[in-house]
Structure 1
């Protein structure tokens, strides 16, 4: 199981949007430059975040993106689902139905695949955990763990880019 790097970039960029004043937005160019990646790639990620209602797109020369909801209302799972889509990680192919006993007609009673049930339960536990981790929590955690100068420099970078 692996999430794309788009999830990581999305979470980092969304944290940068938390401190943006509500009447301002942050441009995709600035977000991409700060992260060291292509604008095209980040635009695709932000298109998905916008479609999911996590960010709002502001048109115009000074346009960009801002959070569409409060950081308390945006969970890690919201971001994962927006970027990766709703498809389950485990894709049961019902291979048991092709097994020897089913082919020979010895076992015809319908049954649930125990493997699928376990995998779906594990995914649900992971989703629930990620639903409990919000952007607000991440912001507080970064405030607590990162050197204050890094946080200040980050905020200055995005304020400067909007002037």
Structure 2
């Protein structure tokens, strides 16, 4: 299982948008430059975030993006699902039905696959955990673990750009 780097870029950029006043926005150029990623790539990621209602785009010369919801209402899972889609990680192919005993009609297949059940249950536990972590939590955690000057410089960078 692997999430694309787009999820990481999205989470970082969304944290930068937390302190942007509701009447302002941050341009994709500034976000991309700060992250060291192409504008084209980040635009695709933000298109998905916009479609999911996590950010809203502001048109025009001074346009850009801002959060559409409060940071405490945006979970890691919301971001992952927006960027990656909602397809389950484990894709059961019912290979048990191709086993020797089932091919020879010696046994009837059970109504469900135990392996699939375990995998889906594990995925749900992971989703629940990711739903419990929000942008507000991430913002507080970054304030706790990063040097103060890094947070200050980051906030200043984005306050000048909007």
Q: Same fold (TM over 0.5)?
A: yes
Residue 134 of structure 1 corresponds to 134
Q: Which runs of 5+ in 1 are unaligned?
A: none
Partner of 1:125: 125
Which stretches of structure 1, 4 residues or longer, exceed 2 Å deviation after superposition?
none
Q: Deviations over 1:121-150 (max 9, x none)?
A: 000000000000000000000011111100
User: Deviation per CA, 1:43-74, whole angstroms, max 9, x where unpaired?
Assistant: 00000000000000000000000000000000
State how many pairs are aligned: 162
1:109 CA displacement: 4.2
- Mapped to 2, the partners of 1:129 and 1:78 lie a distance apart of 12
1:93 aligns with 2:93: yes
Residues of 1 paired with 2:118 and 2:57: CA distance?
A: 40
Q: Identify unmatched segments of 5+ residues in structure 2.
A: none
Q: How many angstroms does 1:159 deviate by?
A: 1.2
Q: How does 1:75-114 map to 2 (within 5 A)?
A: 75-114=75-114
Alignment of 1:1-150 (within 5 A): 1-150=1-150
Q: For the residues of structure 2 that align with 1:56 and 1:160, how far apart are their CA atoms?
A: 20
The answer on whether the counterparts of 2:20 and 2:66 sit within 8 Å (CA) in structure 1 is: yes
User: Given the two structures, how large is their TM-score scaled by the length of structure 2?
Assistant: 0.98
